[in-house]
Amino acid sequence: MAGAGGGTAGRVLGVDGCRGGWVAVALPGSTGGGTGPGPVAYTAATIAAVVAAASADGPLRAVAIDIPIGLPDTDVREADRLVRAELGPRRSSVFVTPVRAALACPSHAEAVRVNRSRAGTGISVQAYQLRDRILDVDGWVRTAGVPVVEGHPELSFAALGGAPAAYPKKTWAGTRTRLALLAAAGVVLPDDLGPAGAAAVDDLLDAAVLAWTAGRVAAGCAVGRPDPPQRFSDGWPAAIWT
C-alpha cells in the first residue's frame, strides 16, 4: 500500500469512538472526486452494527478505524512508537497499546501490573478505558468481509496539512483548521447529519478524515507505519495507515 496519490470508485468508511459507541462517516470513495451522494454519517453501539448500517446503503471498499488493531504480547508496538515520534506536538493523542493480557484484566491497577511485567511500562487510565472498544474490534475484524485498517486522525490531518496540527482539535482554531483541510481534500460535511449530528464535533471530524484514509487504502496508495507491518501472536498486520 505504499505510494501517494490516486483515487477509486466505491464507498469507503472512517470510524471513530464516540459517546455510546461508534460514529462513522462514509464517502463516495475517491479522495480526488467521487460520484454519488456526499458524506453520510452513522452511529451505533458496536463496530459490527455501525459498519453494517453503512454497508446497507451500499458496499464498502475499505474501512479505517481509530483503534489499535493487532495487539502485542510483549513490548510496545512499533506503530505507536513511530506515530508518536512523527506527531510531535500532537504525540499525546497516541495511547500506547496495552499488551493483550493486560486488556483481559478486570481493573486498571491489575492491567498496569501485567503490562509492566510484559512490556516494561504501565498503561494510562485513558488507554485502559479503551478496553471494551479494542476488544469489540478485535473480535469482529477477522470476519469483517471488507479490508479494515487502523488509522489515526491526527496522523491523517498531518498528512493533509503537511505537518501536525498547530492547535488541539477541541479548540475553535483546531476545529476550523481541520474543517478546512477536509474541504481542500474534497470532504465537505453537510449541515444535516441526521442522528449522527448529535456526536461530538471532534469525533465527526476524526471519522471524516479516517474516511479519507480509507479512500487511500481502497486506491492502493496508503502508507503504513511500520512498513512492513508488525505481527504478533494474533497474526494481524499491525500498522497505522494514512
The answer to whether residue 4 scores a pLDDT higher than 70 is no
Same domain, 59 and 100: no
Average pLDDT over residues 102-107: 96
The number of folded domains in the chain is 2
Does 84 reside within a domain?
yes
Average pLDDT over residues 61-76: 97
What CATH number has the domain bearing residue 173?
A: 3.30.420
Same domain, 156 and 123: no
Does 1 reside within a domain?
no
Does 147 reside within a domain?
yes
Same domain, 42 and 147: yes
**Mean pLDDT computed over every residue of the chain:** 92
Range with lowest mean pLDDT among 2-16, 71-85, 95-109, 177-191: 2-16
Domain residues for the domain of 83 are: 78-129
pLDDT value at residue 26: 98
- CA–CA separation, 234 and 70 (whole Å): 7
Same domain, 110 and 178: no
Same domain, 142 and 219: yes
pLDDT value at residue 29: 60
Same domain, 57 and 143: yes
Same domain, 56 and 165: yes
Same domain, 84 and 44: no
138, 118 in Cβ contact below 8 A?
no
Average pLDDT over residues 97-117: 96
Does 228 reside within a domain?
no
Same domain, 26 and 83: no
Does 236 reside within a domain?
no
Does 180 reside within a domain?
yes
Same domain, 122 and 180: no
The answer to whether residue 207 scores a pLDDT higher than 60 is yes
Cell of 63: 474501512
pLDDT value at residue 198: 87
CA distances from 50 to 16, 115, 212 (A): 10, 31, 18
Does 6 reside within a domain?
no
Same domain, 118 and 149: no
Does 28 reside within a domain?
yes
